[in-house]
Amino acid sequence: MAYIKRILKFINKKKRGRFSVIILFTLFIISLLAPFIANDIPIVCKSNNGLHFPVVQKLFNKTHHHKAECNWSIHPLIPYHQKSLDLKNGRFKSPFEKQDISSIRKRHWLGTDALGRDTFAGLLYGSSIAGRIGFFASLLSFIIGMLIGIISAYFGNNKLRINYKQLAILLPSILVLLYQSIYGFFFGFANDFMWEASVFLLIFIMSGFCIWKLHDSVNSKIRVPLDNLILWILEVYKSIPNIFFILILLSLLTKAGVINLILVIAFVLWPIVARYTRAEVLKLKEENYIKSAEVSGIPNWTIIVKHIFLNAMGPALVSFAFSFSAAILLEASLSFLGIGLPVEEVSWGSMLSEVRNNYKAWWLALFPGIAIFLVVSALNYLGEVLGEFFSQN
Amino acid sequence: MLWYLSKRILRIPFVLLSVSLLIFFISKNVPQDTVVNILQLEGKSEAKDNDEGFSKEDYVQVAKKYNYHLPQFYFKFRPSHYPLKRKLFPSEKNQEDIQLNEKKQFSLPAFNWNGFNNQYHIWVKNMFTGNFGISFVDGKLVSTKIWDALQWTLLLVFISLFISFALGISLGLFSKTSDSKKTSEALKLGSYLLYSIPVFWFATIMLIFFTTDDYGSWTNIFPTVSVLDPTDKSIFGKLFSSGKLLILPILVTSLHALGYISRQMESSLSNELGKSYARTALSKGLSFKAVVKKHGFKNALLPIITLLSSAIPGTIAGSVIIETVFNIPGIGRLIYNSILLADWNVVFALVFLIAGITSISFLMSDLLYMKTNPKIHFDTD
């Protein structure tokens, strides 16, 4: 707790850090409150039956009362949902243009797109989608990357040793597991679930038993070159540029969706975290307290969980910030290219891509672009400030 | 060093092999059916034999012609009650799937060795002999299609990299050596902004505001985007016929890279000038500019040289966006379109090409680093 306080204090001292935290916090609040700021149904509605909260009810998927029944109502600041079509003001209405509206409250302050969707509402809802995809994708890649980075750096090429019996069980089971997970992921799960599940269970039990027995094998003969193996995977990742890799992976999916996109982005981004964590743990390994823990016979997994993981966690946060911004940028460029998210979902990138249908609609390019730019640079700043903090300590 | 070098070079084929395995497995599991694409290309998909719009004979014939009837890989694990040879025709295969799905039973895994007559083996063999096959979208040879696209991308990448490195290094140098603090601060901020602005946004903004005179007569600087002239076959012919249209994409790409390079140059130079040899030179009475010119500059260039080789794959990756926005028929747009249309022959060859370029670039960067800085030893690796 005290550690977190020190980090926050450090960020607060730096001008860049304060700036980025303020921006990120504002966007977080906006993304949470988006349905209350921009919506086509009232927040509070007084009808003959009493008070209703249509926005809240709609959030929880309940049917809301019709607008006509309200005696009085409080409407959100912007009377448009991101998906609500204003056909009277369709075909790219500019912010300064004369708009076909009943009152000034109904004006599209930042213009509309081809279908008459409000740009401002889209911006607000877009922040929630960018935040969701960015956060969960980078969280997932953080978990995977940290795990792999720690294992690769701590065990190196020599430390993990097994004996011939274990190899005889472990090697085929890992091979089958790998094949099953690759093959079954693409082909099988739906077709023959029972078979997949039983094989998986068997393999998990077998390899779990081996790992449980691993610390007994002090005099084991065979060294497992974990570090080389992981470095090889990282090199394969490095040789295909991220955007191509994502495009290829996305072609596997039959259905576009937010969760699929999160999984794919996380699958591509984890090497960022893994490389960073690996470098950190390699430094940590030279510290005296780790060495003395090793000498005093504390098992590897205890050292990893108790010392390495907690100490590498802080520096790895830096790569979390960078992968967060990379994920947002990737999502935006994918929606800009027109793939990844389902068509009805409005994100900053998809708003930007509409400009390609009409090059005169500058407002559709300017505002979402500013939003992306602000988030990405705030995250990068935050990462840099965190990096400074951890390099000083 | 020789040992390190040979190890490093030997790693490249293994990486490429893994890439080929990865792409092959992905391509075999995409929802689109390549055989249907070929049928449409050959004009055989009109026959009204079933719902799909093609006859079974045609489908099987095409599948056999392109080796789709062979097993996919050297070996296969399957539940032992599964048939070894699955049905080929889509509707029959679906039916078989349903039948197998009904029999929910536990069965042991069965291993099967398929031998060398499999799809992966044949494909790799063809790649080695230079036979990349044909594109399933328009029937052209993959190699000609890629060569046409590659010329555009090479033009874009090399011209913009040249500009960005030449300008970036001098800007970084200028911002460090300039006497007024304000200029250097402004240059720093400018390069930071250029680097952190997303490329697709930058490109779109330039396209919107600087290709028309809607926003004042002076904003009509660049020509509007139009379809590039495909008749010229040679690189220089392309440059002459549509050089005007390439100005804006080159500008956008090079400005983006320029920001990063000038930032790196600046920080590398200040890093060098903080070292004791520079301080010694300063205290000997040499002027600041002389120290920069004689000592700092050469040493500061080292990390920049290695940036060059990693910038090549980066710019090629960025070309997806740039080429889509500016309508250039280069590699980035080709790979994007081919993936969308499941034209896997083209995708394979392109990914292979890009992975090769990337691996060789990183190797080059290591070599350059070793060549320029004899202190570096990689032997401990």
Q: Please compute, for residue B83, the number of CA atoms within 13 A of its CA located in the half-sphere on the CB side.
A: 10
Contact B358 A241 (CB under 8 A): yes
CB atoms within 10 A of CB B337: 15
Q: Please compute, for residue B219, the number of CA atoms within 13 A of its CA located in the half-sphere on the CB side.
A: 12
pLDDT of residue A313: 86
Q: What is the mean pLDDT of residues B192-197?
A: 85
pLDDT of residue B380: 47
Rounded CA separation A56/A100 (Å): 30
Q: What is each CA distance from A38 to A77, A103, A126, B3, in whole angstroms?
A: 6, 17, 12, 64
* Residue among B214, B364, B369, B240 nearest B299 (CA): B369
Rounded CA separation A285/A277 (Å): 12
Rounded CA separation B87/B90 (Å): 8
Tokens of A385: 């400030």
pLDDT in tens, A170-195: 777 777 777 666 666 555 544 555 66
Neighboring chain A residues of B354 at a CB cutoff of 8 Å: 240-241, 244
Nearest residue in A to B11, CA atom: A232
- Tell me chain B's radius of gyration from C-alpha atoms: 27
User: Is the CB of residue A162 less than 8 Å away from at least one CB of chain B?
Assistant: no
pLDDT of residue A190: 47
pLDDT in tens, B338-347: 988 888 889 9
User: Is the CB of residue B340 less than 8 Å away from at least one CB of chain A?
Assistant: yes
Rounded CA separation A247/A268 (Å): 11
Highest mean pLDDT: which range of A60-64, A279-283, B50-54: A279-283
Contact A254 B209 (CB under 8 A): no
Q: What is the mean pLDDT of residues A314-342?
A: 89
pLDDT in tens, B133-158: 888 888 889 998 998 888 888 888 98
Tokens of B227: 């379809």
pLDDT in tens, B214-237: 776 676 777 776 666 666 667 677
Q: What is the mean pLDDT of chain B?
A: 82
Tokens of B128: 């080695």
Neighboring chain A residues of B340 at a CB cutoff of 8 Å: 251, 339
- Burial group, residue B321, by CB count within 10 angstroms (0-12, 13-18, 19+): buried
**Partner A, chain B 111-170, Cβ-Cβ below 8 Å:** none
Residue B136, helix vs strand vs coil: coil
User: Is the CB of residue A321 less than 8 Å away from at least one CB of chain B?
Assistant: no
Contact A380, A325 (CB under 8 A): yes
pLDDT in tens, A215-263: 555 566 778 888 888 999 999 998 998 899 999 888 888 777 888 899 9
Among A180, A243, A254, beta carbon nearest to B31:
A254
Neighboring chain A residues of B26 at a CB cutoff of 8 Å: 248-249, 251-252
How high is the ipTM of this complex? Answer: 0.87
Q: Distance (Å) from the C-alpha of residue B311 to the closest C-alpha of chain A? A: 12
Nearest residue in A to B348, CA atom: A248
pLDDT of residue B231: 60
Rounded CA separation B135/B221 (Å): 39
Does the pLDDT of residue A342 top 60, yes or no? yes
pLDDT of residue A265: 93
Q: What is the mean pLDDT of chain A?
A: 83
pLDDT of residue B166: 92
pLDDT band at A150 (very low <50, low <70, confident <90, very high): very high
pLDDT band at A12 (very low <50, low <70, confident <90, very high): confident
pLDDT in tens, A123-137: 999 999 999 999 999
Contact A182 B197 (CB under 8 A): no
pLDDT of residue A135: 94
pLDDT in tens, A64-121: 555 556 777 777 887 788 777 777 777 777 777 777 777 777 777 788 887 878 888 8
Contact B19 A240 (CB under 8 A): yes
CB atoms within 10 A of CB A210: 19
* Residue among A49, B130, A72, A76 nearest A58 (CA): A76
User: Is the CB of residue A238 less than 8 Å away from at least one CB of chain B?
Assistant: yes
**Phi, psi angles (nearest 5°) of residue B60:** -65, -40
pLDDT band at A328 (very low <50, low <70, confident <90, very high): very high
Q: Which residues fall within 8 angstroms of residue A59, CB to CB, at 6 or more apart?
A: A35
Nearest residue in A to B340, CA atom: A251
**Partner B, chain A 15-54, Cβ-Cβ below 8 Å:** none
pLDDT of residue A89: 75
* Residue among B225, B227, B235 nearest B148 (CA): B235
pLDDT in tens, A36-51: 888 877 778 777 777 7
pLDDT in tens, B12-68: 898 999 999 888 888 887 877 888 888 888 777 665 555 667 778 888 888 888 888
Contact B110, B78 (CB under 8 A): yes
**Phi, psi angles (nearest 5°) of residue A86:** -110, 90
* Residue among A271, A301, A290, A277 nearest A211 (CA): A301
pLDDT of residue B296: 86
pLDDT in tens, B271-327: 888 888 888 988 988 888 888 888 888 888 888 887 887 788 888 888 888 998 888
Q: Which residues fall within 8 angstroms of residue B296, CB to CB, at 6 or more apart?
A: B269, B272, B273, B278
Q: What is the mean pLDDT of residues B204-210?
A: 86
Does the pLDDT of residue A338 top 60, yes or no? yes
Does the pLDDT of residue B379 top 60, yes or no? no
Contact B314 A235 (CB under 8 A): no
Q: Which long-range contacts (CB under 8 A, 24 or more apart) does B127-132 make?
A: B127/B20, B127/B348, B127/B349, B127/B352, B132/B345, B132/B348, B132/B349
Q: Which residue has the higher pLDDT, A23 or A214?
A: A23
Nearest residue in A to B107, CA atom: A195
pLDDT band at B364 (very low <50, low <70, confident <90, very high): confident
Rounded CA separation A218/A22 (Å): 52
Q: Which residue has the higher pLDDT, B220 or B115?
A: B115
Helix axes A242-250, B297-326, angle to 10 degrees: 30
Single pTM value for the model: 0.87
Tokens of B166: 């030449």
Q: Which residue has the higher pLDDT, B167 or A216?
A: B167
pLDDT of residue A183: 62
pLDDT of residue B372: 74
